[in-house]
Structure 1
Amino acid sequence: MQYLLTRPDSLNATIQLPASKSISNRALILHALSGGTTLPANLSDCDDTRVMVRALDGHPQHIDIMAAGTAMRFLTAYLSVTPGTRVITGTERMQQRPIRILVDALRTLGAQIDYIGNEGFPPLRITGSRLQGHEIELAGNVSSQYISALLMIGPVLPRGLELHLTGDIISRPYINLTLQLMHSFGANAQWTAPDRIKVEPGSYQDVPFTVESDWSAASYWYEMLALWSSDADDSVAAPCIELPGLLPHSHQGDSRGAEVFARLGIHTEYTAQGVRLTRTSTCADRLDEDMTDIPDLAQTFVVTCCLKGITFRFTGLQTLKIKETDRICALITELRKLGYVVRSEQDSILTWDGERCPASDAPAIDTYEDHRMAMAFAPACLVRPDIRINNPQVVSKSYPNYWKDLQVAGFRITEGTES
C-alpha cells in the first residue's frame, strides 16, 4: 500500500493525540506486578500496548510481541519473576535485535532464561522464579528500556535491587519516568548517587492511574507547523494547532522537543486543556543538539531541518541503529530521494552542511517497518507536493489514528499501490 499526500489549504486543527506508549507500557507492568484489578485508564491503543495487554491477560505459554521492542524488554524481566515457563518471540526483525545485555543482567539475579535460536537474540524461554540476587552493574549507554525493565521488578525481589550504571548514562529522562511511575504505584526507588539507583524491597499498590497524552506523537504536529508556508491572502487564519492532554511538567523525555522546536520558530502555550502551537518570526539557521535524551525525536528534527534548509549536527544517536530499523541508514537513504545529503559519524552522529543532490521525481519514502519513518516524512508533503509514503500502516505501532488526524487537519490522502 502507498499513500499520496496533499497539503491542506490552511493549518488549523485540534488533535486528540494518542496516550503515551511509554507510560502505558510501564503502567501495565506495574499494574500486573501489583496483582491488582484496576487497569490503568486511557491506555494507548497502539500495537505495542495491545500486545502488552494480550501478553499479561492470562499469561499465555507462547507470547508473540510482533515488532514491539518495549514489550520484549519489559516482559522478559516481568516473566523472570512470574511463576511458569513461557516462550516470548517476535517478528523477523525483532529476532535480530540484541537482548543479551538484559538477559545477562537477569541471570546475574538468578533468572532462568534460555535462547531458543541465536545466542543473544529472541526468541527466549523464560521460567519465572523468586530471584535472590540484588546487585547489578550495567553500562549506562545501553538502551534505557533494559534499565527500566530491571528497575520495575526491583520491589518484588526479596532484597530489592541496587543498580550501578557505569560510563555515560543515556536517556536519563526515560529512567526518571520509570522511577516516577514506580512511585505512583507505591514503590520506594531513587537515585542514591549520579550513577546508582536503589530500589527497596516491598510491593506495588493497586491504585487508580490515568495515562497522559504522548509527547512523541506531538512532535509531528510541531514539525507540520514548522514546515508550513502559505501564499494565501490575509483572510486565511494564521496556522495554529491545539493538542489537548499534554502536561507542562511531564516526565516524558520527549517533552523537551518543545524547547528545541522553539528555536525553529514554534511557540508552545500551555493551557488548561493542553498546548496551543503557533509560529513565531524567529528561527535558527543551524541546530547543534545532543539527542542522548530524546533519540526518538531524531527523525522528526532531521527531516524538519533539511526541509527548512537548517544545517545541523545531532549527537547522542547511538541507539538508533538497533531500533525498529537502522534509523541512521534509513534517514540517509530516504533523504537522498528528497535531494539532501545527510552524513553519519561514529554510528551516533548525523550531520547536514547544506549539501544537496538531485531529488527523485515523485519520491516514495520507504518506511522499513518503522512507524517513526512514516510519521516524520509525511509532513514533507508541505514542501514536496508529490510525496508518497510506502507501507503507511506501520503507524499503528504507536499512533494508529495518525492518518485520520491528518485528514482532520485538512490533508488529503490518496491510496495507491506501491510500485
Structure 2
Amino acid sequence: MKERIEGQLFIAPTALLRGEPLVPSSKYYTLRYVLAATLTNGESRIHFPAESDDSDALFRGCRALGATLAWEDAHTLLIRGVGRPYAKEPVTINVGNAGAVARLLMGISATLPDVTFVTDHPQSLGKRPNRELLEALTTLGVICESEHIEGYLPVTLHGEHIHGGHVTISGARSSQYISALLFLAPLLNEGLKITVVDDMKSQSLLSASLEVLQEAGIVIEHDDTLRHFSIADGQRYLPRNYTIPG
C-alpha cells in the first residue's frame, strides 16, 4: 500500500509481492551481440538490447560499415549484417564517449582501406589510450595513424594489407584490446594467435566476448588463464537470435 502526502511517497510493508522483476539488459552483452550480428551475412535479431549512449554509438558505427539496423518492435532489433566490412570510400565513425565501442570497432574495421575514428568528447574519450591495440594491428599489417604516442583519438586505420599471424599484447590497461582482436580474427584470411602479457584488467568482460563469439559460431582455442588464444581461418559469423541477459 502506498499513499502520497504533501509531495512525499510512503510505502507500507506487505506480506505478499506479485509480478516479475524486470532486470535492465546488460550494456556489455548488447555491444558484443550487435557486433557479432553485424559481421554475419544474414539477418539476426537482438531481443531486449540495452538502450544507452554506448549502444547508440555502436549502432552508428555498424551502419557506417554497411549494416542495416531497424527496430522490429519495442524490444527487438533486426540486424542485416555485412560479413567482412569493406568500403571503397573513406569512412568516418564518431564513437561519442564510448571507449569500448571505439576499441571493438577499431578491431573489425581494420580490414577497411581508410577508416577514421573521432570523438566529440576530446577531454574524456579523447584522452584514453589505444596504443597497445594499434601496435597489435600494426603487427598484422595495418597502417595506424594517431597524433599522440598513446594512440588518442582521432585514429585512422589503413587495412588494405592486413593479414593474420601472431600478436603479443598487454592486458594491463584494458581487456577491450583483446576482445577487439578476437572479433577481428575470423575476418582474416589467415589464422590469428594472441598472447596476452602482464595483468588482465576486466577479465570477466573478456569472458563475455568469448561467450558471444562461441554463440556466433566462432571456435576459439584458449588456455584456462585466458593468456593464449588461437583462432583458425575460414570461419564465418552465423546469423542468430539473441536475448540480452540482465
Shift of 1:126: 1.9
In structure 2, distance between residues paired with 1:71 and 1:181: 16
The one-letter code matched in structure 2 to 1:139 is S
Q: Partners in 1 of 2:51 and 2:216 — Cα distance?
A: 22
Q: Secondary structure at the match of 2:194?
A: strand
Give secondary structure in 2 for the equivalent of 1:40: strand
Contact 1:20 1:211 in 2 (8 A): no
Q: For the Cα contact (< 8 Å) 1:110–1:131, is it kept in 2?
A: yes
Q: Which amino acid aligns with 1:85?
A: D
Q: Contact (CA 8 Å) 1:135, 1:161: kept in 2 or not?
A: yes
- 1:9–1:99 CA distance, 2 compared to 1 (3 A): same
Following the alignment from structure 1 to structure 2, what is the Cα–Cα distance between the partners of residues 29 and 73? 12
Whether contact under 8 Å (1:23, 1:211) holds in the other structure is no
Match of 2:219 in 1: 188
For the residue of structure 2 that corresponds to 1:163, the secondary structure is strand
Residue 213 to residue 187, structure 1, CA distance change in 2 (3 Å): closer
2:116 maps to which residue? 87
SS at match of 1:210: strand
Of the three residues 68, 81, 84, the one matched with 2:98 is 68
2:237 is aligned with 1:205: yes
**SS class of match (2:244):** coil
Counterpart for residue 166 of structure 1: 197
Cα deviation, 1:2-34, whole Å, max 9, x if unaligned, reads xxxx88635878542332111111112222222
> Match of 1:51?
57
Q: What are the superposed Cα offsets for residues 330-373 of structure 1, whole Å, 9 maximum, x if unpaired?
A: xxxxxxxxxxxxxxxxxxxxxxxxxxxxxxxxxxxxxxxxxxxx
Q: Which segments of 5 or more consecutive residues in structure 2 lack a partner in the other structure?
A: 1-7, 67-90
Summarize the alignment of residues 408-419 of structure 1 with structure 2, pairs less than 5 Å apart: none
Contact 1:52 1:71 in 2 (8 A): yes
- Identical aligned residues as a percent: 22
In the TM superposition, what are the counterparts of 1:385-404 in structure 2 within 5 Å? none
Rounded to whole Å, the distance in 1 between the matches of 2:62 and 2:170 is: 29
Contact 2:45 2:242 in 1 (8 A): no
Structure 2 match to 1:118 = 148
Secondary structure of the residue that 1:52 maps to in structure 2? Answer: helix
Conserved 8 A contact 1:48-1:71: yes
With over 3 angstroms needed to count, the CA separation of the structure-2 counterparts of 1:39 and 1:112, relative to structure 1, is farther
Q: How does 1:5-404 map to 2 (within 5 A)?
A: 9=11, 15-59=21-65, 61-81=91-111, 83-90=112-119, 91-92=121-122, 93-115=124-146, 117-119=147-149, 120-129=151-160, 131-192=162-223, 194=225, 195-214=227-246
> Structure 1 213/8 Cα, relative in aligned 2: closer, same or farther at 3 Å?
farther
Q: Is the alpha carbon distance of 1:14 and 1:102 closer, same or farther for their aligned partners in structure 2, counting shifts above 3 Å?
A: same
C-alpha displacement at 1:133, in angstroms? 3.4
- What letter matches 1:208 in structure 2? R
- CA distance in 2: counterparts of 1:181 and 1:136, whole angstroms: 22
Say if 1:138 and 1:166, in contact at 8 Å, map to a contact too.
yes
1:94 Cα deviation after fit: 0.9
Residues of 2 paired with 1:123 and 1:39: CA distance?
32
Unmatched tracts of structure 1, length 5 or more: 1-5, 215-419
Distance apart, 1:155 and its partner CA:
1.4
**Aligned residue type for 1:87:** T
Q: Choose 1 or 2 for highest CA Rg.
A: 1
1:259-292 CA distance string (max 9 Å, x none)? xxxxxxxxxxxxxxxxxxxxxxxxxxxxxxxxxx
Q: CA deviation at 1:137?
A: 1.0
Conserved 8 A contact 1:84-1:128: yes
**TM-aligned CA distance change 1:167 to 1:7, over 3 Å:** farther
Which residue identity lines up with residue 30 of structure 2 in the other structure? S
**Residue 138 of structure 2 contacts residue 144 of structure 2 at CA under 8 Å; is this kept in 1?**
yes
Considering fraction of residues, name the structure with more helix: 1
Please give the TM-score of this superposition, normalised by the length of structure 2: 0.75
